[in-house]
Structure formats: structure tokens, C-alpha cells
Structure 1
């Protein structure tokens, strides 16, 4: 394997970058965070000083023009993902873009096409996918530990009340809302576990006119052979981020599926009882950064190609359409 390290630039001083991605990338075996940009130069300089980053820029354009940067991490609000991902591709740099990749599948396809035309890699930053607990769940599924997988149940909620009106999650012009912020994890996990795309969707939501977004949503996705995934997401309930894979002969529970803190557990229940498996603590942001950098350095395909984002976004579009129509079953196209 090449000993070269990917030089990262971070687009904005968003909290997820400062608190999660930058520490993970800095700890990675094949990358170094070289620069950070903000539209407020003082904020960029402050972040660079605190985090030991060599270069700080007062505009995104300056960062993209830096010839010493190989890849960009894009944690901008959802509505800005496409604009700055395509600008990054035009600058000849690879892009790790936060989830969900775009505001809809059509926009995501434009991003995918634009990056391919420029010969740069694009990956959706669903960091949880790189945690080894999910590989273990899939191995148990494939080994028949719970029989045939029939249902997936998941939840991703946290308490945001009283609602701060300037929070990006509550701003419709930034493509916020519970489904885009945390429900996308449940949709993505259901697709991962079933290994196929859902065929239809149904949803109910608590949509707030003052924000123009939903603050809670409960949804169902229908897969082949009458298999289903049910989930709830939102900003009004006690924090949880879990899923259960339910089979014909047992069930696998993952209590800390999306944002684990330290050692995690997988609980397998079947006719003989319950057993708990322990998965050592990892930094899933570090593993995500290492996967992306390794694909660049070794000129290989990504384990999770950018096209995977299309299935999640098509399901999200159908869930939204269903919720607007009062929960009617909506085909996913």
C-alpha cells in the first residue's frame, strides 16, 4: 500500500467537522487535515489554531484553489451540498459529502455524474456504515442466525425542544427536517439490511408551518415478499439510535447503531435464549476517512459507491409525498 497520505481540506467550521470528522481524519493512518475554510476568516483561523491545522481560508473558493489539497470534506447544510460538491469536482479534488448526499435523487445524480466526468471520487458520509458492528450483523444474517429476515425496526430521535428557530435542522431553505437529518439513517439501514431497494413508502409527520419542516416522522418502507421496515425519527423524544433485524427464527438488536460512544453490543435472541456480543470501541469517522483515502491512494472502487445515495433519496422523496397526502401508500420510483 502507498505510504502517501491524503491531504484533507474541510469546507466550513460546522460542528460535525470540528468535533467529529477532523479528529477522526487526524487520527487516520493515511490522511492529514491540511486546511479549513469559513466565510468568516476569523472563525477559520480560530478553528485551525485550536485543531492544529496548517492553513485557514476566509472563503470556500480559496480552499478549492489550494493545489496542496487532495480531498474535501463537505459538511455544509443539505441545500448547499450539490453546489459545493460540483465546485470541488471542477477544482479536481475528491469529495466526501455529508449525508444525505443531496436534496433529492435527481440532484444527487447530477453530483455523481459531475464527479465522474471530472475523474474524482465522491462518497456519501454515512459514517455509521464503517463501524464493524454492522458487518457482524450482516454476517449473522447471512449465516441464518435469525432465519429469514422479515422486518427491520429502527429509531433515531433526540430532544431539541424548545425549538431554536435558527437551528439548521429547522430551516426549510437549508433542506432541514427530521427525515433529512436523522430519518435518513433509518432508511439507509433498512436498505443495507435487506440488501435491496424498497418498493413503496407510507408516512405520517408533525409538520410545523412556522419552520416549513417536520419535527417528527414515522414511516414504513415496503420491500419484496411483503417484508417491511418501520421507523420513527425526530426532535421531540428521548435520544436513541437503534435498529432491530427481525427474522423467522430470531432477532438481532443493535442498541447503539448510529452514534455509538465506546464499546458497543449486539444482542441475538432465538429459541435457545439471548446472547450478547461485544464490539470494541472504534472511531467511525476515522474509519470513514481511511476508507475514502485508501480508495484514492490505491485507485480502487469505494466499498459504498455514490450511487447508493440514490436509493435512500428516492425513498425519502416517497416518504415525504406520503406524509403530505396523509399517509397513503406511495410507490418509490
Structure 2
């Protein structure tokens, strides 16, 4: 069995590939970057230079390259399904950026294609691999905040000062809009923290008519037992990515739960408030690179022939909630999860 997974990146000029995943591959204990694909390989070489051992080529050439063991896809949302399924047909395992597809039907179709091809596919939710969430779970399980009744999650970044019309997030045909780009995170976070699936959702939205995409969204999710999650995302407000877990006796605040800096990670504090006696405890965790962690976790699963750490059903369920959120906005009503159409 090989001890290094040889990676090819399909769309290596995107910021998430260039500044996050590719450095994660370089630092990983079980991966090696061997190829980068671009629509214009010559332009990619001119802009980014040549890295020893990393060849630049076209998309189809990368999928046909026998040296490439696995593919990372950071392309615009509307291109995920097409190129992931082409990679499956070429026998390549794929780590694909979130959201995996434009809707639950597309996500299901993608996993079916990979199952037929006998290779794995995983959605790249890097935040899930940061150890701070394991610590949050330990605190919840300790009972210090009591029964968890509510989760609040928010993700935002100011892209409107001024907006760049060339940004794929402002192009409807490329799967633009904040619901797909950031809403997938806050839904995933609420489901992860509740350890349950929501039963219904009521959402609202702000559209930017210049671009025809949503730039701010919010929703309330109902979970079993009368619990709830309040989620929001925005292209208009300052860069934030936090969540709070609210229990009968206290609360956990995770100030950088969904987004961290790139390259150098500053230790972030978990702020725990126990309402019972008014105590406020701050716990600082060491710096960590969740991009490196997701690369290594994916690589371990491929190299060892084990299940992916994020399952197909996890991605399908997340997409179903996003579908219901979108329908709730269209219909201006509560929508049961799974009934969206």
C-alpha cells in the first residue's frame, strides 16, 4: 500500500485551492501535490510559476493522468457535478468543495455515480475537522450547560464594498448566492451540534437585483423535541463565523467555529458561560490547520480502503435542508424537511 496519496487539483487558481487546500496537501503526512489543472494552463503557469514536481495541464488531461491518485475540485458550484462525475468515470476518488451539488437530487446522483464507479466522494467541509468541535462535544456531554435546546450559527463576509461582478458568487448560472455558498455551513453546523436532523424550516432572504443572487439569508430550524436552530449568512456584513450552543444551565460560545485564518492559525478561545452560578470560563485551544486535517483524513480513508469520515448521507441530508430553506423563501411558509420540491 502506498504511503502517499498523489493529488491533482482541478481548478488550482481559485483562492481556496491556492491558499488553503494546496498548502494543506504540502504539509500533510500522507499526501503529495503532483498536478494542477486550469482552463488555461499557460496562463496558470504565468501567474503562479512552476512548482517542482507539480505539472500544470488541462482538466481532461488531469483526469486521464495515471500519476494522479485523487482529485480535489474547487470549481464554481454549478460545475461540481459535471467534473466530479467525470473524475468518477476516470476512477479517481474526489474531495469536492461545498456545496457538493446545487440540490439534493444532484448530490444523490453524484454519489450514485461514484458508487457505480467504485471510488469514494466526499464533500469538503473543512471546519468539521478542527478539534475545537470535539472539545465542544465533550463539554456538552459533561452536562455543564444542561440539555441543549438551541443553536445559533452565523457566517458572513463583506463582498459588497464594492461588489465584484466577476466573482462567481454573484453569477446565478454558476450557482452563486449566499444560501449555497455560506448557508451550507450554518445548516451543517446546526445539525452537527444537535446530532439530529431538523424536521422543518422557515427562511427569509435579501436579493440583490443587480446580480440576481441572494446576499443575505436567515432561517429558523425546528429539531425534534421542540429544540431549534437560528441560522444566518451574509455577503454584506463583516467577516464572522461563530456559533453558540444554548442549554438549560449555560452556553458555549465558539467565536471562530466556522472560519479561521489561512496559513497561520491563531488559537481561538471557547467561551463557556454557566448561567447557574454566573461563572464565565475561557478555554484556549492550540492553533490547528483544519485544511491539513481534512486532506489527511480523506487520504487515510483512500489509502486504507475505509469509509469516508463524512458520509454520503451526511451530504444528502444537508442538501435536503438547503432545498427546504429555498422553498420556504419562495413560498413564504414553513416547509417540512424532505418535502421540498
TM superposition score category, shorter chain reference: over 0.9
Say whether residues 1:295 and 2:301 are aligned partners. yes
The number of aligned residues is 330
Say whether residues 1:17 and 2:23 are aligned partners. no
Structure-2 residue corresponding to 1:309 = 315
What does residue range 1-333 of structure 1 map to in structure 2 within 5 Å? 4-12=3-11, 13-46=13-46, 49=49, 51-57=51-57, 59-161=58-160, 162-261=162-261, 262-270=266-274, 271-272=276-277, 273-326=279-332, 328-333=333-338
Distance between the aligned counterparts of 2:117 and 2:181, measured in 1?
29
Is the partner of 1:159 in helix, strand or coil? Answer: coil
Q: Quick check: 2:204–2:217 contact (8 Å CA) kept in 1?
A: yes
Distance between the aligned counterparts of 1:316 and 1:53, measured in 2?
40
Note the residue ranges of structure 2 that are not aligned, 5 or more in a row: none
Q: Quick check: 1:48–1:54 contact (8 Å CA) kept in 2?
A: no
Cα deviation, 1:282-311, whole Å, max 9, x if unaligned, reads 111100000000001111112211221111
Cα deviation, 1:13-36, whole Å, max 9, x if unaligned, reads 211101111001110000001000
Does the C-alpha gap of structure 1 residues 216 and 68 become closer, same or farther in structure 2, counting only changes over 3 Å? same
Is the partner of 2:157 in helix, strand or coil? Answer: strand
Q: Quick check: 2:240–2:259 contact (8 Å CA) kept in 1?
A: no
RMSD: 1.3
Question: TM-score normalized by structure 1?
Answer: 0.96
Q: Quick check: 2:215–2:236 contact (8 Å CA) kept in 1?
A: yes
Distance between the aligned counterparts of 1:282 and 1:301, measured in 2?
24
Note the residue ranges of structure 1 that are not aligned, 5 or more in a row: none
Distance between the aligned counterparts of 1:301 and 1:6, measured in 2?
16
Question: TM-score normalized by structure 2?
Answer: 0.94
Q: Quick check: 1:152–1:190 contact (8 Å CA) kept in 2?
A: yes
Distance between the aligned counterparts of 1:312 and 1:51, measured in 2?
37
Offset of residue 212 of structure 1:
2.0
Which range is displaced more, 157-166 or 28-37? Answer: 157-166
